[in-house]
Amino acid sequence: MGIKSLASNNKKKFKSAKTQKWKRQKKAEKKKQQTPKEVNIEDVHLFSDEKLKNKLRNPQNNIKISGKKKRRLTKRLGHSLREKSQMQVDVNDKQSKRKQEAEDAEMVEEVANTEVRAKSEKDKQEAEDAEMVEEVANTEVKTSAEAATSSTEAASSSAPAATGSGKKRRNRKKKNKEAGGTTVKGNMFEENDGWEDVEMAE
């Protein structure tokens, strides 16, 4: 066995070696400790997100836009902004229209509610007026009935008195006649005209 065999035996085992994950973590920690660098990029609004990310990761990357491409991109951006503004205006118009329609519907509903309330109040007033008229008519009927009853009572109270006096007079006349008859008869039988009572033989 030679020296190489001894050296190979002194090698670290695979488990004791540092993993790639540990190395990445250490690298990220070092990167955080470093001071941030400023990156100046011209026409940032013309670059895509991916290119900007790559530039931030690797500031040494040289990204430039030619004049022709720059003009095309600015033109396209202008068109897109114009379309967005038109869409925003349309959306605002639709929102305002919906808002106006909602307000109109609320106004119509309020008017309908006020009309219903006015109608109900009118019906209530008419019912109250009808009740008042009915009460007045009932009171008038009662008063007329009471007056009629009072007049009939007065008439009845005066009529029996007259009839009673007539009956009394008639009764008096009858009594007088009867009294006169009895007196005559009495005189007739009581006079001594020479006739004596004779018992009739059976």
Q: What residue spans define the domains of the chain?
A: 29-65, 67-143
Instruction: Identify whether the C-beta of residue 45 lies closer than 8 Å to the C-beta of residue 77.
Output: yes
How far is residue 8 from each of residues 73, 85, 106, measured CA to CA in Å?
62, 73, 92
Quick: pLDDT tens for 67-117.
Answer: 899 999 999 989 998 998 888 888 888 888 888 888 888 888 888 888 888
Report DSSP state, residue 44.
G
pLDDT digit string (tens) for 34-78? 887 788 888 888 888 998 888 888 888 888 888 899 999 999 989
